[in-house]
């Protein structure tokens, strides 16, 4: 038998109800991996740092079906909160982020999901957003998806900033609706960022971030339109990079 088994897309074990054991031996992944399905009774503080500079913002596990971490924005306009992992990723190692996100009320929320060079920003800002309908890059280096009620539309935007130089943002043409859940993926290859929504590539930013800058995975949310507290659910996150 060959020492390497090549699989094009997926492995599926059929009739799984009849399996008692289906793996012999141990896997040794050739990737550095951060993964969380948020199924615990509390947020894993060994994986995640939280920042709550706003008024009444909270970030905590929510025991709903399947589990999630719930970002609840503050009650004052532009209150913000952030959830972030360690600053260990960059484009030289082909870093990938995959997240499943649910926004309860798009018309009252700003959201950034992606990689950033800082775990948190000051209140009234997130890594990249559309304050007063203008692209605003607070981070020095970041690449991610932005949905912002201050933007002219509820489009999912693909954004980046490399050493304080803004990449030209790309509109996916997808308007995120209230109560909708989407799968978001970003692939960093050196300074290039590829953006996927629900498995379909929507953008390629050629100068999204500075190649060697260390970045963290982060979810950052903010209250918009004096709408009071709003909720963003992160159902799962997986990020990985080459050794």
**Confidence at residue 18, expressed as pLDDT on a 0 to 100 scale:** 66
**Confidence at residue 69, expressed as pLDDT on a 0 to 100 scale:** 98
Q: pLDDT tens for residues 112-166?
A: 999 999 999 999 999 999 999 999 999 999 999 999 999 999 999 999 999 999 9
Alpha-carbon distance of 32 to 113, in angstroms, equals: 20
Domains and CATH numbers, the chain: 16-242 (2.60.120.200)
Owner of token pair 């309908």: 133
Positions in the chain short of pLDDT 70: 1-2, 16-19
Alpha-carbon distance of 29 to 161, in angstroms, equals: 31
User: What's phi and psi for 85, nearest 5 deg?
Assistant: -95, -170
CA 17, chain centre distance (Å): 33
Angle at CA 123, nearest 5°, toward 132 and 214?
Answer: 100
Q: How far is CA 77 from CA 80, 121, 228, in A?
A: 9, 16, 7
Whole-prediction pTM value?
0.94
**Confidence at residue 17, expressed as pLDDT on a 0 to 100 scale:** 63
């Amino acid at each position: 038998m060959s020492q390497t088994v090549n699989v094009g897309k997926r492995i599926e074990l059929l009739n799984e109800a009849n399996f008692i054991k289906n793996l012999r031996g141990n896997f040794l992944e050739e990737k550095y991996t951060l993964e969380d399905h948020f199924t615990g009774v509390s947020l894993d503080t060994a994986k995640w740092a939280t920042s709550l500079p706003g008024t009444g913002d909270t970030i905590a596990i929510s025991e709903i079906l399947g589990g999630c971490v719930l970002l609840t924005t503050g009650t004052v306009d532009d209150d913000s909160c952030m959830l972030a992992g360690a600053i260990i990723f960059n484009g030289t190692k082909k870093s990938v982020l995959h997240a499943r996100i649910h926004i309860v009320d798009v018309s009252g929320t700003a959201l950034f999901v992606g990689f950033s060079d800082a775990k948190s920003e000051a209140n009234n800002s997130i890594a990249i957003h559309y304050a007063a309908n203008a692209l605003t890059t607070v981070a020095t280096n970041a690449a991610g998806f932005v949905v912002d009620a201050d933007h002219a539309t509820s489009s999912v935007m693909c954004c980046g900033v490399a050493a304080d130089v803004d990449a030209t943002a790309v509109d996916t043409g997808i308007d995120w609706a209230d109560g909708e859940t989407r799968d978001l993926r970003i692939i960093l290859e050196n300074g290039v960022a590829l953006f996927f929504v629900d498995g379909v590539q929507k953008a390629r930013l050629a100068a999204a971030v500075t190649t060697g800058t260390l970045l963290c995975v982060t979810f950052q949310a903010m209250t918009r339109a004096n709408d009071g507290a709003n909720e963003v659910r992160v159902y799962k996150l997986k990020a990985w990079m080459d050794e």
